Amino acid sequence: MNKIVLASKSDARRSILEQIGFKVIVCYPKVSEIQINHGSLKDVINIAKENSFNKAMYAKKCYSYPVISADTLIFQKSKIFGKSRNKEEAKNMLISLRGTFHRVVTGYTILYKNDKITGYDITEVYMRNYSEEEINYYLKTNEWIGKAGSYAIQGIGAFLVKRINGCYYNVVGLPLSKLIEDLKILGLWPP
């Protein structure tokens, strides 16, 4: 069986799963995500895992195939950044992230038959000390829409990033290495 349900609106997550050989059925989960603006790293991990679990449970009601879901959040000191709601909020996020490092936390869930695995990964991202002109350029691309932290490392937003420590795919939205290990446990890898 190589069909898998992705409980996410993310084109990047779909592309990652297709890249490794799955036929992806996309399900747009209609669930309210837990959102807070401040907390600890433990809070961020728990929220990302719970959001991913809720998305997966929604998709499991609609499909009998294995389900994968994920939720990505940005953690910097005690601030938690999800997706920005508008251009002004996106600009403020990019200003906060500029010249510093933050952690990208992705919680994920795999549901298959009666089995459930929920995990997470953390990647440190170091941002360039980019200018306001560069921020304004990036905002005009609209790539920031729907992205945690208001940037996409896999797209134009790559120019904002100086370096990373950890899984690149986690920053894109799906911690591939950990995900594959868990898919193996459930007998779903290789597809």
Name which of 62, 46, 19 is nearest 11 in CA terms: 19
Active site residue: 71, 115, 121, 182, which one?
71
Residue type, 108: Y
Length of the chain in residues, anyone?
191
Q: Omega of the bond prior to 190 within 30 degrees of 0, cis?
A: yes
Backbone angles phi, psi at 47, to 5 degrees: -65, -45
Instruction: Tell me if 6 sits within 8 A of 58, measured CB to CB.
Output: no
**Residue 121 is among the residues annotated as catalytic for this protein:** no
Residue 122: helix, strand or coil by DSSP? strand
Instruction: Tell me if 34 sits within 8 A of 47, measured CB to CB.
Output: yes
How far apart are the C-alpha atoms of 74 and 82, rounded to whole Å?
6
Catalytic residues: 71
